[in-house]
A and B are shown apart, each in its own frame.
Chain A
Amino acid sequence: MRFVACLLLSGLLAVPAFAVSDPAELLPDRAQEQRAETLGHQLRCLVCQNESVEESNADLARDLRHIIRQRIVAGDSDQQVIDWMVARYGNFVRLLPPFNAMTVVLWGAPAIAVLAGLLAVLFARMRRPAPPEPLSEAERRRVADLLKS
């Protein structure tokens, strides 16, 4: 159902023309445009929440794409653009989570997982297998028979 809401809000209710510029306003400078696209992929569209700002067809996403490009042209660094967005929408808007005290476990997950796996293997190998139980009388006789034949 969220899909439906999202599609409705992305302009199908005959939203009239507005002053935000044409979506085709790609930046003429390729490097800047590349930066804008990378940043756009790192920000969540808040209307269609399972898409990034770069991918979403929602109005708000288009506005945010425009703002990203504006700020890049104005000279902001990548971090400054992200901070601008976070100041208004919170860390929720960042698809690439920040690296801070709260996210140490998150970013450390690959290393922790591999380490844990290797340790488990090490422990398993250190364990000496239990010696087999001594044979019973009947079993010893059978062994003798088998060896003789």
Chain B
Amino acid sequence: MIPELGHFALALAVAIAGAQAVLPLWGARARDARLMATAPALAIGQMLALLAAYGCLIWSAVVDDFSVANVAENSNSLKPLIYKITGTWGNHEGSILLWCLILALCGGAVALFGRTLPSSLRARVIGVLGFTSAGFLLFALTTSNPLDRVWPPPIDGRDMNPLLQDPGLAVHPPVLYAGYVGFAIPFAFAVAALLEGRVDAAWGRWVRPWTLAAWSLLTGGIALGSWWAYYELGWGGYWFWDPVENASLLPWLSGTALLHSAIVVEKREALKIWTILLAIGTFSLSLCGTFMVRSGILNSVHTFANDPARGVFILGLLALVIGGSLLLFALRAPVMSATGIFAPISREGALVLNNILLCSICAVVLTGTTYPLFAELLFGAKLSVGPPYFQATVFPLAVPLFLAMSLGPVLPWKRAELWPALLKLWWAALIAAVVGTAAYLGLRASFAAVGFAASAWLIFGSLAELVERTRLFRAPFATFRSRVAAQPLSVWGSAVAHAGMGVTVAGIAGMSLAVSTIVAVHPGETVQLGGYDWTLLALRDDQGPNYTARVADIRVTRNGDDVVTFHPSRRMFTVQKSSVTDTAIQTNGLRDLYAVLGEERDDAAVLRLHVNPLAPWIWFGALVMAAGGVLSLADRRLRVGAPARRAAGVKAGIAS
């Protein structure tokens, strides 16, 4: 019964989405207030319908209803409860439904929190969201319905890939999707602006909170995925530039550019065309990521369903959404005129440079990821483009970007002098130089030295900007105090976010100094690595709810003092007849000790051991970045709405 209700709710959602796609846009065109007013109601309706549908899916999984095909294929009565719930999105159909749910939640959010938007803009935004929703819901309902039944129902389910039965990977999809799909809102804003024929400072301000929210979530989602790969997969790395990893990085890069571009639109009414293009492009990249993952077209570990038929449907959807919006862009963009003029050396200039660099990195990653496809198409050749390529091309672009990141915030708008701005950052530059030189001399590793220098520049540069704004040490304490209180939250937010990037860069630099080894060890033997002594105490068996395991007990000491005893293991899952490694990691905040149990031969165990300096900083930095985004979100200025329209005669001529 419940699955039927869910199925019905899904169909209802399709219908509502269809209405949502048509009525508000028509109303905005015809300036019909009543039609425009249907927008929030429809958006909320769709949201509720999809919440119901997804709720029914979760319910079916929790009660082990194996007559639902999705549950039969991916769940099992022995699976722990939490993974029954999170497993609903661990497969193609469920994750598509999650995608649609989040898209509907976006529409609902605009309906609920966008009350201060002018009604025509809000109607158009919700209309565009409805259009996109309708497309994906149709795809879900017709080709990937997780609520389809199977008859007769099997006695027990086939269980989920054991790799997915893990807390990190359980949470990763919703957060990542919230980011991916969240960029649909800026996309909708951009298309709405094109339809209205107007992009102005107010638009720049309205679009920013939504972009910030999506960006923060995407940052978190990517960090979660990378962290999971690190602690679960047991290869000691955290980013392989795998096509699907890149698919999540691409919208992040262009989303970051969008975030900064929107500031210029808001403050100076310039860079309008570029910002609109970025908004369309970011969501397009999200959609392309979806396509690449689900069609199996790329050689990647992550591909769900290698089903070309589904791939064609999604390609069609993409053609409609991306092609349509880019066509609209080509037709309507000339209408938008820039009014702000600025000199090359200015905050706008720095933001333009930031844009160019971020978009270049984005273009490079896109080229590298899709190059094997084009090589196959054009030359029939089978090529690989792997981490060495990306490291060689992205890092040289990232360094000027980091330099600009600390310089931009201290440059004034419109026209500035470079030298006075640099002087404000003198001590940050000094610290960076000292750190870099010390690192190079001490470690003889140029990559790490540059990384640490860049990290110091970013962190202390952010601090320098705050010091500058609050006149610390330059004015009486009372002035400083009042200035601190007066700073809008977005100033703190951006400083925190930039510093967070610095922390991540330090983590990456530290990881480049990691030491590792692979050894065959008998119980009782000790290995030395990275200044620590690793002793294999014992190899034993263990049991879990749906698995058996082989465990190694390893004690790590340093100079005779106990550091940790941990237990890497291999788990064999009985139903799926497959195994998973359970890496053992111990962190003290400054370095990770990392052990993986490999196979066993002649009662020796093959162990992979790592000492990873500053590894936790990579993900901690990402957390700080996301926190900076959230901080900026809370800025009161972003909640200012549209001025109310009074009689035309009074307000006419004053741009709004």
Q: Would A and B touch once assembled, by the CB under 8 A criterion?
A: yes
Please, how many angstroms separate the alpha-carbon atoms of A56 and B240 in the complex?
12
Stretch at the interface among B106-114, B350-358, B585-593: B350-358
Determine whether B367 belongs to the interface, using a CB cutoff of 8 Å to chain A.
Answer: yes
- Choose among B337, B383, B570 the residue that contacts A97 (Cβ–Cβ < 8 A): B383
Within the complex, what minimum Cβ distance (angstroms) separates A79 from chain B? 14
Determine whether A55 belongs to the interface, using a CB cutoff of 8 Å to chain B.
Answer: yes
Q: Looking across the interface, which residue of chain B has its beta carbon closest to that of A117?
A: B356
In chain B, positions 220-242 with a C-beta closer than 8 Å to chain A are 233-237, 240, 242
Interface pair A95/B389, CB less than 8 Å apart = yes
Interface pair B570/A12, CB less than 8 Å apart = yes
Residues of B within 8 A of A2 (CB): 301, 303
Please, how many angstroms separate the alpha-carbon atoms of A57 and B600 in the complex?
13
Within the complex, what minimum Cβ distance (angstroms) separates A102 from chain B? 6
Determine whether B487 belongs to the interface, using a CB cutoff of 8 Å to chain A.
Answer: no
Please, how many angstroms separate the alpha-carbon atoms of A23 and B339 in the complex?
66
With A97-B389, A110-B393, A113-B364 as given contacts, are A7 and B579 in contact (CB-CB < 8 Å)?
yes
Determine whether A103 belongs to the interface, using a CB cutoff of 8 Å to chain B.
Answer: yes
Residues of B within 8 A of A42 (CB): 386, 388
Within the complex, what minimum Cβ distance (angstroms) separates A131 from chain B? 11
How many positions in chain B have a CB within 8 Å of any CB in the partner chain?
62
Between A17, A50, A116, the greatest number of chain B beta carbons within 10 A of the residue's beta carbon is seen for: A50
Please, how many angstroms separate the alpha-carbon atoms of A1 and B158 in the complex?
13
Interface pair B601/A17, CB less than 8 Å apart = yes
Determine whether A29 belongs to the interface, using a CB cutoff of 8 Å to chain B.
Answer: no
Interface pair B383/A55, CB less than 8 Å apart = no
Q: Looking across the interface, which residue of chain B has its beta carbon closest to that of A143?
A: B653
Residues of B within 8 A of A8 (CB): 578-579
Interface pair B352/A90, CB less than 8 Å apart = no
Interface pair A55/B236, CB less than 8 Å apart = yes
Please, how many angstroms separate the alpha-carbon atoms of A139 and B649 in the complex?
11
* Chain B proximity mask over A53-88: 1 for CB below 8 Å, otherwise 0: 001110000000000000000000000000000000
- Choose among A24, A93, A129 the residue that contacts B337 (Cβ–Cβ < 8 A): A129
Residues of B within 8 A of A57 (CB): 234-235, 596, 598, 608
Please, how many angstroms separate the alpha-carbon atoms of A90 and B303 in the complex?
24
Between B375, B596, B602, the greatest number of chain A beta carbons within 10 A of the residue's beta carbon is seen for: B375
Interface pair A117/B359, CB less than 8 Å apart = yes
In chain B, positions 377-393 with a C-beta closer than 8 Å to chain A are 379, 381-389, 392-393
In chain A, positions 89-147 with a C-beta closer than 8 Å to chain B are 90-97, 102-103, 105-107, 109-110, 112-114, 116-118, 121, 124, 129-130, 139, 142
Residues of B within 8 A of A94 (CB): 383-384, 386
Q: Looking across the interface, which residue of chain B has its beta carbon closest to that of A2?
A: B301
Residues of B within 8 A of A117 (CB): 355-357, 359-360
- Choose among B161, B235, B572 the residue that contacts A55 (Cβ–Cβ < 8 A): B235
Interface pair A139/B384, CB less than 8 Å apart = no
In chain B, positions 109-149 with a C-beta closer than 8 Å to chain A are none
With A49-B301, A55-B236 as given contacts, are A129 and B339 in contact (CB-CB < 8 Å)?
yes
With A113-B359, A129-B339 as given contacts, are A91 and B518 in contact (CB-CB < 8 Å)?
no
Interface pair A12/B389, CB less than 8 Å apart = no
Interface pair B161/A4, CB less than 8 Å apart = yes
- Choose among B237, B397, B519, B576 the residue that contacts A114 (Cβ–Cβ < 8 A): B397
Between B601, B602, B608, the greatest number of chain A beta carbons within 10 A of the residue's beta carbon is seen for: B601
Q: Looking across the interface, which residue of chain B has its beta carbon closest to that of A142?
A: B653
Residues of B within 8 A of A92 (CB): 382-384
Interface pair A52/B386, CB less than 8 Å apart = yes
Residues of A within 8 A of B371 (CB): 97, 103, 105-106
Interface pair B364/A110, CB less than 8 Å apart = yes
Residues of B within 8 A of A4 (CB): 161, 163, 576, 578
Residues of B within 8 A of A41 (CB): 387-388
With A23-B518, A96-B386, A129-B337 as given contacts, are A139 and B364 in contact (CB-CB < 8 Å)?
no
Determine whether B542 belongs to the interface, using a CB cutoff of 8 Å to chain A.
Answer: no
Determine whether B581 belongs to the interface, using a CB cutoff of 8 Å to chain A.
Answer: yes
Interface pair B602/A55, CB less than 8 Å apart = no
Q: Looking across the interface, which residue of chain A has its beta carbon closest to that of B234?
A: A57
Within the complex, what minimum Cβ distance (angstroms) separates B344 from chain A? 8
Determine whether B528 belongs to the interface, using a CB cutoff of 8 Å to chain A.
Answer: no
Q: Looking across the interface, which residue of chain B has its beta carbon closest to that of A114?
A: B360
Residues of B within 8 A of A109 (CB): 363-364, 367-368, 393
Residues of B within 8 A of A3 (CB): 161, 163, 233, 301
Interface pair A95/B301, CB less than 8 Å apart = no
- Choose among B381, B384, B393, B518 the residue that contacts A24 (Cβ–Cβ < 8 A): B518
Residues of A within 8 A of B101 (CB): none
Please, how many angstroms separate the alpha-carbon atoms of A22 and B242 in the complex?
30
Please, how many angstroms separate the alpha-carbon atoms of A91 and B379 in the complex?
13
- Choose among B520, B578, B608 the residue that contacts A7 (Cβ–Cβ < 8 A): B578
Interface pair B382/A12, CB less than 8 Å apart = no
Within the complex, what minimum Cβ distance (angstroms) separates B243 from chain A? 9
With A57-B598, A93-B384, A96-B389 as given contacts, are A51 and B235 in contact (CB-CB < 8 Å)?
yes
Within the complex, what minimum Cβ distance (angstroms) separates B325 from chain A? 19
Interface pair A129/B338, CB less than 8 Å apart = yes
- Choose among B367, B384, B572, B579 the residue that contacts A105 (Cβ–Cβ < 8 A): B367
Please, how many angstroms separate the alpha-carbon atoms of A42 and B386 in the complex?
8
- Choose among B233, B381, B384 the residue that contacts A95 (Cβ–Cβ < 8 A): B384
Determine whether B166 belongs to the interface, using a CB cutoff of 8 Å to chain A.
Answer: no
Supply 14 further A-B pairs (C-beta < 8 A) apart from A51-B237, A95-B385. Answer: A7-B578, A11-B598, A12-B579, A12-B599, A49-B301, A56-B235, A57-B235, A57-B598, A91-B382, A94-B386, A95-B387, A97-B389, A110-B397, A129-B341
A-B contact pairs, 10 of them (CB 8 A): A1-B161, A7-B579, A7-B580, A22-B520, A92-B382, A96-B386, A102-B375, A106-B368, A110-B364, A112-B363
B residues adjacent to A (C-beta < 8 A):
161, 163, 233-237, 240, 242, 299-301, 303, 337-339, 341, 352, 355-357, 359-360, 363-364, 367-368, 371, 375, 379, 381-389, 392-393, 396-397, 517-520, 570, 572, 576, 578-581, 596, 598-599, 601-602, 606, 608, 653
- Closest CB pairs A-B (n = 7): A95-B386, A117-B356, A113-B360, A96-B388, A113-B363, A50-B301, A11-B599
